Amino acid sequence: MPSDMSDNLFSKTNRDIARTYWIIVGVVIGSLTALNIIDRILVRSRLKAAANNSPHPTRVKNKIGQIWATATAVLREAALPSVHSFTNKNTLLAMFTPLPLGRSVVVFIYMAMVAIMLSINVYTSGYWYYEKIAYRAAWVSVTQIPFVLLISGRLSLFTLLTNIPGERINWLHRWVGRVILVSVLVHMALFWRGWDLSDFLQTELEIMPMVRYGFGGFGVLGWIMFTSIAPVRWYTYELFYLNHLASVGALLWCLYMHVPKSAIYNVWLGIAFVAFDRFLRAALFLYSNIHSSSTLTTKSSYSLHFGHTAEIDILDRKENLTRVVIKDVKMKWRAGQHIYLSIPSLRPFESHPFSISNTYEALPALGEEYKELGNAAATHNGSRDLHLLISSRAGFSKQLHRKCGPADNAPVVLKAFIEGPYGSPPAWNTFETVVLIATSTGVTFTLPILEEIASNPACVRRIHFHWTVRHVSDLKLLTKRLARLGNKARGKGVDVFINIAVTCGTMKTAKDGKFVVGSDDGDSFGASGSVASKGSEYLLLKTVEKDGTVDEITPVNGEPVATCCAAAAVP
């Protein structure tokens, strides 16, 4: 059990400081919760104005609204500036890339608050000088433990209140952990110094088990920090994640055995925050993966099913693009959300996040478009299927790609488990102008957004869709879907501008006068005729309307564009 040694030693001031810390944290979380509520009210107000056919549903109509909108815009712009000198994540220098200005200010304020907590009302002399500051550092350190665990979960109480998902606050989780390491180092160093001056260090280690647990906790915390640096996370994230969970458990045990009874509530509070997140995630996992035969499209005798059938095939071998279709999903999702996918037959103890590439409302049309691709695509039969387009890079995604046969073979069928959906995307249809920018397979994130807006534009009046791809073959996969969505949105009064840049291909005019877009391997798109010679010029393409519809994507002109174009909007 933890020692009572410091329960009555300098504890009143330290408890007051710990209480003040949580008051500040509570005020911040409460403010973010209030902002979340206000944002929801504004969304409803905009949608109501759009339903009433307001020409400008997003325009504020009173002074308070104008002040709020101006303050939001100014703060958002001020928070964005950042230094990009070390952003290549393949180098060790990437870990030294400064945070954007807004996040840097938050970290600076937090560190200043902790520094004040360490130094306020601390005696600068006397017999107990080192121990007074050491105990203060101990209280400051252990008080932060619940907070760093609170902001670490996917379904934490923080996320539920503020609507800020865990992946967007993870940067703060890492920085709070670093601040804790520094305050623990101060705690340990000052005690060490005091005991060394009193020639009492060896005795402390021999007669005080809590001291040994303290050193053990510091070692575990240092190990957590070392294994959490960016290069380690990038090299093997799965191993990092398992190590992180085990190390946090060991740290909490060391703290339980080290801290006095008056501070043990911090350990239990941290455990409660983790348990809350894990309980909700387990409930979501079971809800997403347990379903009865009545929810399936194949009406068999009533039975419960655990997991989902996943049909996996290859869309594009050149781009190593794999499609995974999760069959009969009963949950709903929104454009911009992601799930965690687990396939035990490939990797039993791993789950990986992937963006959902279709919207819940547009399943039938998507199934028909995949059917037209000519390879073994899963067809839509009235089921609620969830689609993932995964770029094969390394690890799980590479193994998933290798599991498939040739592109013209039937899909590989495996059992899969999903967790989610996660993410808190904004209401995409509450803005008058929406700009969507993607490169390569990043279009699997932006295309569902376009699809969701096309289904219910509400406030949206203009959409600019920019997509940069390397090869012409990439266009085949999603062109029909893009054309359909452009027509659908235009039919509802939305101006749609689609710009596509092909960075590895050539273009020339064919014999019949049509444009031909060619690639280095002889593939072509957009027209019949001879394929242009090999090359690596940048091409700019646009949608072409015929009789009010957009049925193809063709080059803007017959000559290769010499440099990559950040193209202006082309109707």
Nearest C-alpha neighbor of 177 from the set 146, 131, 211: 146
One-letter amino acid at 308 equals H
What residue segments make up the domains of the chain, in order of their start?
Answer: 11-25+74-283, 308-422, 428-555
pLDDT confidence of residue 558: 39
More confident residue, 308 or 557: 308
Instruction: Indicate the range of 86-90, 95-99, 347-351 predicted with least confidence.
Output: 86-90
CATH, domain 308-422, list 2.40.30.10, 2.60.40.1170, 3.90.1150.10, 3.40.50.2300: 2.40.30.10
Question: What is the spatial distance between Cα 354 and Cα 165, in angstroms, rounded to a whole number?
Answer: 15
Alpha carbon dihedral 500, 505, 508, 513, in 10-degree steps, equals -60
Main-chain dihedrals φ then ψ at residue 265, nearest 5 degrees: -60, -25
Residue 544 has a pLDDT of: 39
Between helix 237-258 and helix 129-150 the angle, nearest 10°, is: 140
Q: CA-to-CA distance for 256 and 247, rounded, in angstroms?
A: 14
* pLDDT for res 518: 42
pLDDT at 547: 44
- Domain boundaries 428-555, CATH class: alpha beta
The mean of the pLDDT values for the chain is 78
Q: How confident is the model at residue 400 (pLDDT cuts 50, 70, 90)?
A: confident
Give CA–CA dist 483/251, Å, rounded.
Answer: 55
Does the structure show a pLDDT above 50 at 559? no
- Kindly tell me if the per-residue pLDDT of 87 is higher than 60: no
Confidence of residue 477 (pLDDT cuts 50, 70, 90): low
Is 410 or 412 the better-scoring residue by pLDDT? Answer: 412
DSSP β-ladder status, 495-509 and 462-469: parallel
pLDDT for res 474: 58
Above 50 in pLDDT, residue 536?
no
Radius of gyration of the chain (CA): 29
The predicted pLDDT at position 5 comes to: 45
Of 161-175, 320-334, 538-552, the range with the lowest mean pLDDT is: 538-552
- Residue 21 · residue 228 · CB < 8 Å: no
Question: Rounded to whole angstroms, what are the CA distances from 213 to 3, 50, 147, 528?
Answer: 11, 62, 22, 75
Q: Is the pLDDT of residue 532 over 50?
A: no
Token pair listed for 472:
């012409």
The amino acid sitting at 180 is: I
Q: Side-chain half-sphere of 365: how many Cα atoms within 13 Å?
A: 18
Buried b (16+ CB within 10 A) or exposed e, 189-205: ebbeebbeeeeebeebe
Q: What span, in angstroms and rounded, lies between the C-alpha atoms of 205 and 378?
A: 66
Name beta bridge partners: 168: none
The Cβ of residue 364 has, within 10 Å, a number of other Cβ atoms equal to: 11
98 residue type, one letter: P
Total residues belonging to the chain = 571
Report the alpha-carbon angle 190-196-201, nearest 5.
100
Name which of 16-30, 286-300, 437-451, 511-525 the model is least confident about.
Answer: 511-525
Alpha-carbon separation of residue 243 from 223, 228, 257, 490 (angstroms): 10, 10, 21, 51
Q: Which of 154-168, 365-379, 391-405, 459-473 shows the highest mean pLDDT? A: 154-168
User: 23 by DSSP, 3-state: which?
Assistant: helix
Phi/psi for 562 (5° steps) reads -70, -35
What residues are paired with 517 via a beta bridge? 507, 525
Please determine, for residue 201, whether its predicted confidence score (pLDDT) is greater than 80.
no
Lowest mean pLDDT among 224-228, 308-312, 316-320: 316-320
- With a CB cutoff of 8 Å and minimum separation 6, the contacts of 97 are 83, 84, 85, 86, 87
Instruction: List, for residues 485-519, the tens digit of each pLDDT value.
Output: 888 888 888 998 888 877 765 544 434 444 444 44
